[in-house]
Structure 1
Amino acid sequence: MTPLKDKHLLVLQLVVVVLLFLIQSCGGQHQMIGPTQPIVAMIGDDIILPCHLEPAVDAVDLTVDWSRTDLKPRSVYVRREGVELLTEQNPLYTGRTSLSVNKLQCGDISLKLSTVQLSDAGTYKCLVPKFNAETVVTLSVGSVSSPVIELTNVKNKMVLECKSNGWYPEPQMLWVDSEGKPSSFEPTKNVRGSDGLYSVSSKVTVEKGQSYSFTCKVQQKNISQIKEAHIHVSGDLFMVQSNTAVHITINLAICLISIGTIVILLWKCEQKKTMISEHEDELHQTEMGEKLQRECEEKKRLEDELGNNEEDLKHVQQTIKNLMEQKTFLKNQREKLITLLQEDKTEMKEIMKKLGTDKPLLDKDRKMHKRGDKKTALDKRTEVHEELLKMTEKLMEETENIVIQMTERKGKLEKDKEQIVKHLKEKQKNERDSEETVRETSEK
């Protein structure tokens, strides 16, 4: 029996040693938890660089160091014994970094970075020296803008040019048809400005024929951003161009006939009058003919200008329509985000209420831990919803500004059209008066 007792005693001692080791391991070591994927932010955004201590402890009075090894000085944010050390901070981040004291109490030492700049892209190290715990967070910075499609008539072809300014990193541009298939287009032009941002443009040519629908896509895969612009090219545009050419041909024919008539009248007058009279009449008739020709040429110019004005006006009206649709979509998205944030607040109140009213139970610590996890997850979700709401409101503001600009351009085009029509009527009246004068002179 003695060997059996010794064996049981040995097993019991081994279990005790293992338990002591586990208790020391769980209670004495802390690790830093950061994101596994790069954080993507747009220029001008306010973002959070996540960093948490596990297990969670109150870090309000601990030393916290955020840094970038590629900078001199390397410090992005330093906090010691509850005080920010601004003298050690890199000037690039002055007034743009902060930590939440409430979150520090729960071991959350995530860094808030305001008004993100292109130079903020890089790898950040989050460190708490007391526990020798650190992690890294990679930040990718991007910039996007909505593309704009411009139309230009070239003989019997329509040239569509897609432009988009203010991108980073360098994006790709492509054209697709109504079925989503890539279309052939001229090589994309990418130009980097002094601000470090890229401007891209590309052209596609449409032959005379049936209607076409095109989509211009600008995309940057590293920051998962895609912007599109749509346009429908109707065969009516070619009809307008063809009808204009017919009108011009008719007007030229009328001018030639009028000039021919004047020449015949001049010849008849020369046969009836004396040499002096003939010379005076010929001079007068020539002046009238030149005046009539100038009137015809001016009329032709005004008709061409009127046609171009109407095409520009149609394009602007279509652009305003597309922008209003985008504005409606953004408004709906904003309302959905506001609803989600309200739901987040309601759920947070319920969690906080349960955390504050729990009665002493054997499993209280377990329940408190689970609710704490729910609160942390809800905080993160709320931050995401708030960031999306800010982006949506910013896009709505930009869309509204473009609508205002396009509306102003529409008003200018309509005023220009009124002036062109007014001048064209005056030229038509002058042309009729000149023809009447020529007939009266020839009859004399």
Structure 2
Amino acid sequence: MMEKLLLLHIFLFRWHSLNALFTVEAPRSLYTAELGSNVTMECIFPVDGKLKFKDLSVIWEKKDEVRKDVYLLLKGKEDSGGQHSDFQGRIKLLKENLDFGQSLLQISNVKLGDAGLYHCLIEYEGADYKTINLKVQAPYRTIAQEVVRTGDKEWKLTCQSEGYPKAEVMWQNEEYQDLTDKANTSYETGSDQLYRVTSILTIKNRTCENFRCIFWNKEIQENTSATLYILDSADDVLWTESKYLVWPVLIVTVLAGSASITVCIRKARASKDSRTCMAKPSINITKLSRNKDAHDCRGPSFEDEELKYIQIEKT
């Protein structure tokens, strides 16, 4: 630890003079990582000839309210005891690249708390450091949806998702009209620091429509959307009921027609003057046969018998 304090002392009081002789560079000053992924940050330093490992010190630290040691290599020896608990078990320095003047720090299973400013300090025949910014994001990729009927032609549409940073929620109907002002959007944060965003849109006097909720993550310029369908509308219910009511009516009609035809045939057999009764059922048969959706419950044998009887009457 004393060696680290001595190195920091050099940075504070002799940095300007040392910087002219030894310069650390950062190929990238900003890194963006996704929650749960791995990220590798890099700084480079000059190596003249073969690296003298025992003379090299590498310090990666995170600049928070309290400075946190991420990785310590002091005069060629790792100091895992000084590492902050936030990074234990998740940090690796790719030592094989040190010979080429590359300090590559790998952070695995990135957390939201890893976001912030990092200092890469190198002491080797001089001393210098660079600041690198790490941003962590959690896209709103999964949207839970719910459509609930709350009254006559009134619906409550809900979209809910988790992510980071905070996202705006916009609503549109199928004609792309903006309905965002009519929605109620709330935000919650848990111990994982993720935003739990819930947006509710109440729709009245709408049937057979679809709506879209859009989670817009402005900071990372990304949006995720979901489509909600209103299918169980009042019109659908009436149509379904009507569809099921059609068949009983047809069956009753056909059965009633069949019964009247049977009575007429029996009467015709008893009396040849009862031709008037036969005319009426013949008309009913013609009307039913034109309705392609109606099923004749009498069967073909009954029609054959009836036509045969009509031919006998004509002779």
- Which residue in 2 is equivalent to 1:240? 236
- Alpha carbons of structure 1 residues 219 and 50: separation in structure 2 relative to 1, 3 Å: farther
- Which residue in 2 is equivalent to 1:39? 31
- Alpha carbons of structure 1 residues 245 and 58: separation in structure 2 relative to 1, 3 Å: farther
- Alpha carbons of structure 1 residues 83 and 43: separation in structure 2 relative to 1, 3 Å: same
- Alpha carbons of structure 1 residues 104 and 230: separation in structure 2 relative to 1, 3 Å: farther
Letter in 1 for 2:26: I
Cα deviation for residue 205 of structure 1 reads: 3.1
Determine helix, strand or coil for the equivalent of 2:89.
Answer: coil
Gaps (5+ residues) in structure 2?
1-19, 246-315
Q: How does 1:177-188 map to 2 (within 5 A)?
A: 177-178=173-174, 180-184=176-180, 185-188=182-185
1:117 aligns with 2:117: no
Letter in 1 for 2:24: Q
- Alpha carbons of structure 1 residues 69 and 56: separation in structure 2 relative to 1, 3 Å: farther
Q: How does 1:143-154 map to 2 (within 5 A)?
A: 143-144=138-139, 145-154=141-150
Q: How does 1:222-301 map to 2 (within 5 A)?
A: 222-234=219-231, 237-242=233-238
CA contact (8 A) 2:157 2:228 kept: no
Q: How does 1:257-406 map to 2 (within 5 A)?
A: none
CA contact (8 A) 2:172 2:179 kept: yes
**Pick from 53, 67, 71: which aligns with 1:77?**
71
Gaps (5+ residues) in structure 1?
1-26, 251-444
- Alpha carbons of structure 1 residues 74 and 214: separation in structure 2 relative to 1, 3 Å: same
Determine helix, strand or coil for the equivalent of 2:102.
Answer: coil
Cα deviation for residue 41 of structure 1 reads: 1.9
CA contact (8 A) 2:154 2:206 kept: no
After superposition, give the CA deviation of every residue in 1:6-46 in whole Å (9 maximum; x if it has no partner).
xxxxxxxxxxxxxxxxxxxxx9543322423x322222211
Letter in 1 for 2:144: V
- Which residue in 1 is equivalent to 2:282? none
More strand by share: 2
What TM-score does the superposition give when structure 2 sets the normalisation length? 0.60
After superposition, give the CA deviation of every residue in 1:79-125 in whole Å (9 maximum; x if it has no partner).
13433210111111111111112322222212100111222121100
- Alpha carbons of structure 1 residues 195 and 100: separation in structure 2 relative to 1, 3 Å: closer
Cα deviation for residue 210 of structure 1 reads: 5.7
CA separation in 1, counterparts of 2:105 and 2:138? 21
- Which residue in 1 is equivalent to 2:41? 49
What TM-score does the superposition give when structure 1 sets the normalisation length? 0.44
CA separation in 2, counterparts of 1:215 and 1:181? 10
CA separation in 1, counterparts of 2:66 and 2:206? 62
Letter in 1 for 2:128: A
- Which residue in 1 is equivalent to 2:132? 137
After superposition, give the CA deviation of every residue in 1:51-84 in whole Å (9 maximum; x if it has no partner).
2235787667221110123265631101134332
CA contact (8 A) 1:147 1:216 kept: no
What's the RMSD between the two structures over aligned residues? 3.1
CA contact (8 A) 2:118 2:133 kept: yes
Larger radius of gyration: 2
